[in-house]
Structure 1
Amino acid sequence: MKGNVFSFNLDRNVAFRLVAPPNYKESPTAFPVLLMNDGQDYVGLNLEKTLSEAYRDMKTIPFIFVGIEADKNRLYEYGTSISADFKGRGSRALQYSKFIIEEFVPFLCQEFKVSPPVQNWVYCGFSLGGLSAFDIAFNNSQFFGKIGVFSGSFWWRKKPYQKHDMKDRSRITLDMIKNAGQLAPIQYFFQCGTEEETDDRNNNGIIDVIDDTMDVINELQLKGYSYPGDIYYKEIEGGKHDLSTWSAVLPQFLKWAFRKG
């Protein structure tokens, strides 16, 4: 089904698409939830086929999919809630985070047969939507147990990159992880492609999207998360920064996110 909900935090209607398992109406129990940013890419990601196959997989726990659609404000609503980037992008990321936590999650809990938002809720996104999903779920671990980030925009920074800055701590996500409180019981799925770009700002022979993701993984390890273990990383040889690559890895992500046992 398609619907929309008015957000007081964003001062606009937010469109969404919800897909439930075939036994939704008859089921006496509630279902886990997968939230996805950039829900407008439902068709491009071939999600109808992917979700149908996941629902037929006896090794996968049935779940409810909710794709939240972005609009013209995407570049300002997605980002990191603690700070906009140095160009002012993501200036409404805090409001978007509040919409998800204060308005949308309660709305889903009230209107649909969903389980309590604790360990069995998953949040995912792609590119800038992946950065947003990571930011919201990481900082609201009382609602989410797993995070999926495909080609995440972890380059998001407080100031322009300076050559020979080997630590490069201007990337906002790194300090957000470092300064977080106690270790939250979250599991992480990261995906990158080897042909997403050619940029290599530090000239280390690794493209930036992979470099940035591995630095986030390293920061999570320093925080106490295990890799492998709490963290899963999938690198697609020849993978690009596009819907086709992300669509191809989504079935594996769903098996990871909702595996039985």
Structure 2
Amino acid sequence: MYRSLLAEMTITEQILTINSELLAREVTITLLVPADYNKAEPLNLLLLNDGQEVENLMVSQALEDLYNTNKIKPVLVAAIHANEERLQEYGVAGNPDYKKRGTKAELYTQFVLDELLPFIHQNTGVNSFASTAYAGVSLGGLTAFDIAWNHSEVFDKVGVFSGSFWWRSKGLDEGYHENDRIMHQLIRNTSGKPDVKFWLQTGTEDETADRNKNGIIDSIDDAIDIIKELELKGYTRPADIQYLEMVGGKHDMPTWAKAMPKFLCWAFKA
């Protein structure tokens, strides 16, 4: 689709609220919509956790830049705001961590599938999307991965920025073993191979912790081990898995904002 410099695509922002029965709270959604979207062209959907950070992640700016250089297909972004329940709603569904965080992750998954997606269809008038991706940062990234992994009938791509793949069932002082990482174990124990593609990002300055004293920070070790588990399932790089390791990248919004255009190009390449 050709766009001249005289008619640049802009992003319209809409703030909507869902009264969620499942989460027993009002959930704010920021919708980012291409202003001059040609309805004859298929529209894609991106769900984004931690939607309260959508401005800090510079998503609108990334979308406009990529649209106007013809690098991505039209995307509707639904950014889901978290609140003080974040540490309970996020995580791995049915698998709270060793501090009993993530007790509402199963409810959050149900909210996304049973309340949010119908709400998006109803409020946008779009009955079906060409593709549906899910993304998140840190613990929101782990959550996006978990939901996409378990619901590949809905999601075909997932993007994880500095994901909390350390999420574990035992504390480091409780006889912890690498097998106690919950998502790695979930991948191993899943029968079959969900039809999902994966985009993972870490930064070399995500943290300083190094559990196994191998000279590699945990966030990188944990992400690489996720990739190894996926490869054992039969996924291949780069066809199914893309990995971005950002030199100097930190566990912060400026780093993830810098990575956002790379993810969007991968997920919705024109």
* TM-score (ref. length: structure 2): 0.91
Kindly report structure 1 stretches of 4+ aligned residues shifted beyond 6 Å.
Answer: none
Sequence identity, in percent?
43
Deviations 1:170-200 (A, max 9, x none): 0000111111132122110000000111100
Q: CA deviation at 1:59?
A: 3.0
Superposition pairs for residues 41-190 of structure 1, below 5 Å?
41-114=53-126, 116=128, 120-161=131-172, 168-190=178-200
Q: CA deviation at 1:55?
A: 2.4
- Corresponding residue SS for 1:83: coil
The one-letter code of the counterpart of 1:89 is R
Q: CA deviation at 1:110?
A: 2.2
Q: Distance in 2 between matches of 1:178 and 1:114?
A: 36
Q: Distance in 1 between matches of 2:185 and 2:207?
A: 25
Q: Distance in 2 between matches of 1:179 and 1:205?
A: 29
The one-letter code of the counterpart of 2:265 is K
2:218 pairs with 1:208: yes
Q: How many residues align?
A: 257
* Kept after mapping to 2: 8 A contact 1:164/1:202: no
Partner of 1:218: 228
Q: Distance in 2 between matches of 1:241 and 1:38?
A: 14
Higher share of residues assigned strand:
2
* TM-score (ref. length: structure 1): 0.94
Q: Distance in 2 between matches of 1:115 and 1:133?
A: 22
Deviations 1:189-241 (A, max 9, x none): 00000011110010011000000011111111111111232000000000000
Q: Distance in 2 between matches of 1:88 and 1:82?
A: 11
- Unaligned 5+ segments in structure 2 are 1-13
- Unaligned 5+ segments in structure 1 are none
Deviations 1:84-135 (A, max 9, x none): 0011101100000000011111111222144636x71010000000001001
Q: Distance in 2 between matches of 1:109 and 1:57?
A: 28
Q: Distance in 2 between matches of 1:113 and 1:215?
A: 41
- Corresponding residue SS for 2:120: helix
